[in-house]
Structure 1
Amino acid sequence: MIKRIVLGFFLITIFFIASSKKTFAPKRNVKITGVPLYYQYPDLPTGCEATSLAMLLSWGRGEPVDKYEVADALPKGDKVRKVDGEWKGTHPNKAFVGDPYTDSDDGSYGVFEGPILETIETFMPDCGIDLTGQPFSSLLDIVRSGKPVMAWTTLEQRETFYGKTWTDDDGDVIDWYENEHAVVLVGVAGNQVIAYDPHTGQAEYYERKLFERNWESMGGRAVTLSTDG
Structure 2
Amino acid sequence: MTIFWKGIQVTLGFFLIGGLLFASGVFTVLLYAKVTGQEDWMRPAVQALGVGIRPEASRALEGTAEAAASPPVPVEQPKASSVMLEAPVVRQLPELPSGCEVTSLTMLLKFRGIEKTKMELAAEMKRDTTPIRYNKDGSIAYWGNPNIGFVGEPTGKAKGFGIYHTALFDQLKSHVPTAVDLTQEPFEKLEDQLRSGIPSVVWTTIDFQVPERWVVWDSPLGPIQTTFMEHAVLLVGFDEENVYVNDPLSGQGQRKINKEQFKATWEAMGRQAISYTTGS
What TM-score, normalized to structure 1? 0.80
Looking at structure 1, the residues matched to 175 and 202 of structure 2 have their Cα atoms a distance apart, in angstroms, of 19
The equivalent position to 2:83 in structure 1, one of 7, 30, 33, is 30
The equivalent position to 1:92 in structure 2, one of 133, 141, 146, is 146
1:183 correspondence with 2:233: yes
Which deviations, in whole Å up to 9, do the C-alpha atoms of 1:159-214 show, x marking residues without a partner? 313332222234x1111223110001111133111100001111211110000001
Secondary structure of 2:214's aligned partner: strand
Secondary structure of 1:156's aligned partner: coil
User: How does 1:68-217 map onto structure 2 within 5 Å?
Assistant: 68-78=119-129, 81-82=132-133, 87-102=141-156, 106-124=158-176, 126-170=177-221, 172-203=222-253, 204-217=255-268
Which deviations, in whole Å up to 9, do the C-alpha atoms of 1:6-42 show, x marking residues without a partner? xxxxxxxxxxxxxxxxx9x884321113x21000001
- Counterpart residue type for residue 160 of structure 2: S
Secondary structure of 1:109's aligned partner: coil
Contact 2:190 2:200 in 1 (8 A): yes
Contact 2:205 2:265 in 1 (8 A): yes
Structure 1 position 79, deviation (Å): 5.7
Aligned length: 200
Relative to structure 1, the CA distance from residue 164 to residue 78 in structure 2 (aligned partners, 3 Å threshold; closer, same or farther) is: farther
Contact 1:58 1:65 in 2 (8 A): yes
Looking at structure 2, the residues matched to 215 and 38 of structure 1 have their Cα atoms a distance apart, in angstroms, of 21
Relative to structure 1, the CA distance from residue 26 to residue 224 in structure 2 (aligned partners, 3 Å threshold; closer, same or farther) is: closer
Which deviations, in whole Å up to 9, do the C-alpha atoms of 1:124-155 show, x marking residues without a partner? 2x222000000011111111221101100111
Looking at structure 2, the residues matched to 84 and 181 of structure 1 have their Cα atoms a distance apart, in angstroms, of 25
| Runs of at least 5 residues in structure 2 that lack an aligned partner in the other structure | 1-75
Looking at structure 1, the residues matched to 228 and 186 of structure 2 have their Cα atoms a distance apart, in angstroms, of 23
More helix, by proportion: 2
Root-mean-square deviation (CA, aligned residues, Å) is 2.1
* Aligned equivalent of 1:66: 117
Looking at structure 2, the residues matched to 108 and 78 of structure 1 have their Cα atoms a distance apart, in angstroms, of 11
* Aligned equivalent of 1:54: 106
More strand, by proportion: 1
- Counterpart residue type for residue 216 of structure 1: E
Secondary structure of 1:187's aligned partner: strand
Larger Rg: 2
- Counterpart residue type for residue 31 of structure 1: M
- Counterpart residue type for residue 149 of structure 2: A
Secondary structure of 1:157's aligned partner: coil
* Aligned equivalent of 1:18: none
- Counterpart residue type for residue 67 of structure 1: K
